[in-house]
Structure 1
Amino acid sequence: MQILHHGAVNGVTGSCHELVINSQTSILIDCGLFQGEDEKDDLSIEFDVAHITALIVTHCHIDHVGRIPYLLAAGFKGPIFTTLASASLLPLVIEDALKVGVTRNTKIINACLSLLNKRIVAVSFNTWFTLPCDNEQVAKARFQRAGHILGSAYVEIDISKNKATHRVVFSGDLGAPYTPLLPAPKPPYKADTLVIESTYGNKNHQGRKERTQTLKTVIERAVADNGVVLVPAFSIGRTQELLYELEQLIHQSAKGSPWRHIHVILDSPMAANFTEQYIKFKHLWDAEAKRKVAKGRHPLDFDNLTTVDTHSEHMAIINYLASRQTPAIILAASGMCSGGRIVNYLERFLGDKTTDVLFVGYQGVGTLGRDIQKYGPRNGYVFINDTRITINAQVHTISGYSAHADQNGLVKFVTGMRKKPSHIKIVHGDEDAKRALANKYKAILGGGIKIEIGT
């Protein structure tokens, strides 16, 4: 058995890991797009797919699934295993990725989606399924809740030969505890080999009460001057969590409070589609969210919320906000400001002193979001659409809203196992984060475990 990495090993994008079971059989775990400084002009699959018998998708973020069309084009003919919710989301994500980054040709898009839908095999959580495996080994897998976004999973894979079984666990992206909507991940019973992400391997997040209070304080200060609050947010996960928190802040505010009249604008057709999917799969929500629904509240669809659909509506909203100086909170993708409608808002409002930009998630190196985060506090500048824009807006970061587990969460995922792994491979993180997590594991677990930083 061998594990090869075709992405998300020297950074946090392009997740793609190959579990080599034998010379005739490999299983691919995720096949994602490179972003930021990892971005590539040539997205064709550079590794041999002839012996890859199946693809396992842990969740539907673009950096985990964006290269699937290229995998299909390279000749991959195996099943694509994923959870029920992810199976519903995946065609939406791939369709959008094709339209934005590949082609607007409807025939090509429909042909790719038709092929994709034929390959998808939806599997319930905690249900073993057989992986296609040649030669003497037998392989099976199951999904467990990862708490990262709707449908997200970590995957346990058992490889058996002559009554001996080796369990490999791929973490995918693990969610943070106490985030809105989804329950936190529970560690597996055991792992022999663990491949684990390390996005925040060197940091710990704010607690939920603290980050909610920070969100409230930042927004109240931001709208006091009738400016706009721009929140770059990923269409799946972060957007729904923020809507949930904003509905709670509005609900608990006193009558006559400015919160009762604040405009919340969701300017992303994709995010709106994914929000519908969150509502459709609300049986996957955590107990707190289910209690709110039982009381007749609508955490993802409330009175103050306006959803913007068409491009003409999008431009009209920008012009309206620029001319009226009306306080508003705008949630728009992409989460790292690497494209999407948020870029138009930033181009128009980043130079305005009454604007606030609120980052609630990781900003990859080389992205516009990282540049704004870095240069904004020193009144620097960025280039948007070849135009130099001085950052007069206030720039804030609330790390507690990350959908990724922090260092404590990544440690508990391992220490919570009844049978600890003998081998841990650390991937999906910047170098500092990977090294810090490796050192933490060594300090806590001792020298009996092989801890390897993936390369």
Structure 2
Amino acid sequence: MNVSAENEMQIMPIGAGNEVGRSCCILKFMGKTVMFDCGVHPAYSGESSLPFFDSIEPEEIDLVLITHYHLDHAAGLPFLMERTNFNPKARVFMTQPTRAIYKALLSDFVRVSRNAPGEESLYTEEDVDKTMSRIEVVDYHAEVNVNGIKFRPFYAAHVLGGAMFMVEIAGVRILYTGDYSREEDRHLKAAEIPPFRPDVLIIESTYGVQEHEGRRLRERRFTDRVARVVRQGGRVLLPVFALGRAQELLLILDEFWEANPDLQNIPIYYASAIAQRCMPVYQTYINMMNDNVRRRFEISNPFDFKYVKNIRGINHFEDDGPCVFMASPGMLQNGLSRELFERWCTSKQNGLVLSGYSVEGTLAKHVLTEPDTIPRLDGRHVKRACSVDYITFAAHADFKETRMFIQDTTPTHCILVHGEKNNMARLRGALETIHNKSEGGKKLDIHSPLNCGTVKLKFKSELNARAINVLSQNVAHDTVKPGTRVSGLLIQQDFAYTLVRPPDLPQYTTLKLTHIDQHQVLPISKPFITLATQLKTTFRDIDYDDKKEIIRMANGGVIIELKERNSVKMSWESGYASDLLTEAVAAMILSKSPHEGDAPISEILRIGRKLLMARFGPVRRVKGSPHLVRLVIDLSKVGIDMLTGEVECTDEKLRERVRLAYKRIQAAMFPIPDIMCECCRAS
């Protein structure tokens, strides 16, 4: 059995829509709601940095998928889970390395926010701790089913544990990349291409149409610049995220120092207590890194750096000569990297090397314009004389990687997120030129929504149902023609349908059949034998036991027994046919004996009104027209002509429902009702 239907999917970024930061994307489809990522914006503080939660209903969220641990993708999660009306039954997933680092990184985020002047803490460390019990881990390629939402994580590179998620709802696939890179570096493999074609691709557009330098050229420029500054007696500041690209740069510097003995007396400092605490995570999940690291790990720990000194903070640092200092945060908005930059930026001997993407509104982005002065945290401006270099090691896809990824995954719809407005616009234009204007190119529907802007996509799908044991055993399945009617119970599990016979219900589901026995006691004003005669005249298979004064109908399915001189008891197993039969029998029991002459029309109408009242509630007669009645059902007015059976109501569905119900009542009052007889109407 199959039925075609058109369903609407809604995709809305409530963060990272035409911006970089506070990544958070909402997917709604087939009554399910999925949230991808939940970060904060590095250029803002307090609640201004959060995704636009007031544009959604957190209690409707069924599933949250976090791609990696960076603050702009995960730091809004404790606020969502502990400070909003987040669905208590929703499930939250991330990979094992992400969960392992998440707690340390967010606890540090709380501490820095609490100590930073003018900033407000979004939540407490206790809030972070509470989220841990609800966060579940998932392995790469493992399929998980959450109430009909299937998903699998795939390797995304970018950072250890980074994942892209393929979600499937009712047969429609959506791939959310998060931050990803298709280039292998010193310690991470390139992101993989999922083996399943997505219908919708939600992809980062951080670098727009820019293309990265080759890795070897980029590393050479980086080491040359660092060496030039320190050899001239200067200090090099490398603002980085505590985890991620920092480990990549440390691998490069440690190897370069090993190859250049004249630099080995110049210290490389790395001020990150978090990185020290999380280093066991890197050692534990060495199998998730590339062959280069795994081979080196067989000999010694590649993250046990020979020329790098870990220090707790600026109070443990003697600023007495040339050095390389790696400190967080990566965009100079506060913390140790900001403090050192304010101290060193006034000397032209010193150098600043920015190695990651800088978001609009941060000091790092401002410094790239090489301003003459820079604002300090205390509000004063100081002269900038140090050199500024931008050598990107950010593990984000460039234009070539984005273009090839789309070509390899072949989606029908593409949603651009996580990109500054101008970069995203240029990328969209370039992709449309490639896919939609070139001869023979595959058409690609591309969207670049603003925050809280909704992309609506229509999907036509066939609802298929397996029919099990509902056909006659003499009918071969391959001979069944379209339009053949079958009957059974239609079972829905997630978005799969199965048609089974009622007796087979326990075999294919956890459900069991339940039988409802009904009993009804009615007054009777005629001899019991007269009732038996009436029933025999109207129905088949009537068994009357005059000794026990019991009438059996429908092969014993309905039993009528005389309880006293003036009452009878009907007993039956509830069901559509048996309920309809007992309604008709009840009308005959309540009607006068035919030996007393035909019942007047007023008595028939009275019984009809009584049956209507039992079914729908209060019934009001129309003055002067006893055959017309008025009812109010579900706040809608309904009028019934009890002689013709016509029903008046503005609600078409309700009108049809009442018409069918009254038709049954007429069948009870008139075993062969004249008003429903076509031959009588024709005459």
TM-score normalised over the length of structure 2? 0.60
Helix, strand or coil for the counterpart of 2:15? coil
Separation in 1 of the partners of 2:406 and 2:278?
Answer: 31
Q: 1:358-369 counterparts in 2 under 5 A?
A: 358-369=353-364
Q: Paired residue for 2:162?
A: 152
Q: Amino acid of the residue matched to residue 438 of structure 1? A: R
Does 1 or 2 have the higher relative contact order (CA < 8 Å, sep 6+)? Answer: 1
1:20-31 mapped onto 2 (5 Å cutoff): 20-23=28-31, 25-31=32-38
2:374 to 373, 377, 381: 381
Cα distance in structure 2, aligned partners of 1:385 and 1:269: 26
Structure 1 residues 282, 415: closer, same or farther in 2, change over 3 A? same
Look up the match of 1:250. 257
Corresponding residue for residue 106 of structure 2: 94
Which residues of 2 match residues 26-425 of structure 1 at below 5 A? 26-36=33-43, 41=48, 43=50, 45-46=53-54, 47-72=56-81, 73-76=83-86, 77=88, 78-101=90-113, 109-132=124-147, 138-160=148-170, 165-189=171-195, 190-251=197-258, 253-254=259-260, 257-296=261-300, 298-309=301-312, 311=313, 314-317=314-317, 320-321=318-319, 324=320, 326-376=321-371, 379-399=372-392, 401-417=393-409, 420-425=410-415
Give a deviation string over 1:400-427, Cα, whole Å, max 9, x none.
Answer: x11211111111211122xx11100111
Q: 1:233 to 1:180 in 2, by over 3 A?
A: same
1:445 corresponds to which of 431, 435, 445 = 435
The residue aligned with 2:640 is none
Alpha-carbon distance in 2 for matches of 1:246, 1:306: 12
Distance 1:83 1:268, change over 3 A: same
SS in 2 for 1:80: strand
> What is the rounded CA distance, in whole Å, between the counterparts of 2:27 and 2:48 in structure 1?
26
Deviations 1:74-132 (A, max 9, x none): 032222111111111111122122222258999x7453133211111100001110123
Q: Give the superposition deviation at 1:216.
A: 1.5
Match of 2:423 in 1: 433
**Aligned residue pairs, count:** 427
Amino acid paired to 1:382: P
8 Å CA contact 1:228, 1:330 repeated in 2: yes
Q: Give the Å deviation of 1:40.
A: 5.1
Distance 1:116 1:389, change over 3 A: same
Residue pair 1:57, 1:82 contacting (<8 A) in 2 also = yes
Structure 1: which 5+ runs fail to align?
133-137
- Residues of 2 paired with 1:87 and 1:42: CA distance? 22
Is the partner of 1:366 in helix, strand or coil?
A: coil
Aligned residue in 1 for 2:665? none
The equivalent of 1:135 in structure 2 is none
Query: Please, which runs of 5 or more residues in structure 2 have no aligned partner?
Result: 1-8, 438-442, 451-683
Instruction: Assess if the C-alpha contact under 8 Å between 1:45 and 1:70 holds in 2.
Output: no
* One-letter amino acid of the counterpart of residue 13, structure 1: G
Q: CA deviation at 1:271?
A: 3.0
Per the alignment, residue 454 of structure 1 pairs with: 449
Compute the displacement of 1:437 (Å): 1.7
| Matched AA of 1:45 | F
How far is 1:375 from its partner? 2.4
Matches of 1:392 and 1:372 in 2, distance apart?
11
Contact in 1 for aligned 2:43/2:360 (Cα 8 Å) = yes
Shift of 1:238: 1.1
Partners in 2 of 1:425 and 1:269 — Cα distance? 38
Q: Contact 1:170/1:194 (CA < 8 Å) preserved in 2? A: yes
2-structure distance, mates of 1:259, 1:293: 25
| 1:10-62 residue CA offsets vs partner (Å, 9 max, x unmatched) | 20101011111234x31111111022269853748323111101211011110
Is the 2:153–2:164 Cα contact (8 Å) retained in structure 1? yes
Partner of 2:544: none
Q: Separation in 1 of the partners of 2:231 and 2:255?
A: 20
Give distance in 1, aligned partners of 2:217 and 2:46: 35
User: Cα distance, 1:354 vs. partner?
Assistant: 1.4
Q: Distance in 2 between matches of 1:22 and 1:337?
A: 43
Mapped partners of 2:25, 2:234: distance in 1: 44
CA distance in structure 1 between the partners assigned to 2:381 and 2:127 by the alignment: 38
Mapped to 2, the partners of 1:409 and 1:12 lie a distance apart of: 18
> One-letter code of the match for 2:166?
E
Instruction: Choose 1 or 2 for highest CA Rg.
Output: 2
Aligned letter for 1:356? Answer: G
